[in-house]
Amino acid sequence: MNEGRDPFIPGASSPIARLVEAFHRLPGIGPKSAQRLAYHILRSPEAEAQELADALIEVKRSIVFCAQCQNLTSRTPCEICTDSSRDRHSICVVEEPLDVLAIERTGGWSGLYHVLHGVISPSDGVGPEDLKIGELLARLRDLETEVTEIIVATNPNLEGEATAMYLSRLLRPLGIKVTRLARGLPAGADLEYADDVTLGRALEFRQEVL
């Protein structure tokens, strides 16, 4: 790795090299993009750079986990948890905060959420105790009479399936209905290239054409 060692910058510890290196650490930013971003900051007015720096610090200082849904929020309980128009009888369990945004975008969900912040994945060293599962159980204990359905919206892969089934095993004995997102062909897919599991499920859960 020789990021930050721009031929035009003498010494790896120069301020520009430090900035390039900081950008390079971000996901999806390669060495060239990091340099482009750093030089863009250099050329832009100081106020703009200050704004970026303030925003970075503020987001780190003010964003916390919502005490209820564990989503990232600036106030706890978060806006979704306190929204009185939402259905409090069902909770949609997702892996990451970004999944909440994805489901909100569909406009098809009016219940609450719970963010696990990961998924059971032994090959990455993540077990159930590393997720916000204890928090979900504590929450159900508080709201026990209210919640009737948990929708597990983990990804349809090995780790997501394992997490969904584990949650179901914990929650079903409590008399809570546990459901899973349907699995089938994505929009724009091609049957010829669909894997057997997906195509099998798509057939199994087919729907009548109206």
Binding string to another protein for residues 9 to 48, with x set by CB under 8 A, is what? -------------------x--------------------
Interstrand relation of 90-94 and 149-152 (parallel, antiparallel or unpaired): parallel
Task: Tell me how far apart the alpha carbons of residues 140 and 97 are, in angstroms, rounded to a whole number.
Answer: 20
Candidate segments 5-13, 16-24, 47-55, 189-197, binder of another protein by CB under 8 A: 189-197
CA proximity to 163, closest of 175, 181, 145, 147? 181
Q: Is 186 in the site for another protein (CB under 8 A)?
A: yes
Q: Is 206 in the site for another protein (CB under 8 A)?
A: no
Q: Is 105 in the site for another protein (CB under 8 A)?
A: no
Q: Does a cis peptide bond (omega within 30 degrees of 0) precede residue 156?
A: no
**In whole angstroms, how close is the CB of 145 to another protein at the nearest point?**
11
Burial (CB < 10 A; 0-12, 13-18, 19+), residue 23, is buried
Half-sphere exposure of 32 (CA within 13 A, CB side): 0
Nearer to another protein, 15 or 127 (CB): 127
Burial (CB < 10 A; 0-12, 13-18, 19+), residue 77, is middle
Q: Is 197 in the site for another protein (CB under 8 A)?
A: yes
Which residues lie across from 64 on neighbouring strands? Answer: 73
**In whole angstroms, how close is the CB of 137 to another protein at the nearest point?**
5
**In whole angstroms, how close is the CB of 143 to another protein at the nearest point?**
12
Point out which residues bind another protein (CB under 8 A): 28, 120, 122-129, 133-134, 137-138, 140-141, 157-158, 161-162, 165-166, 168-170, 172-175, 186-190, 193-198, 200
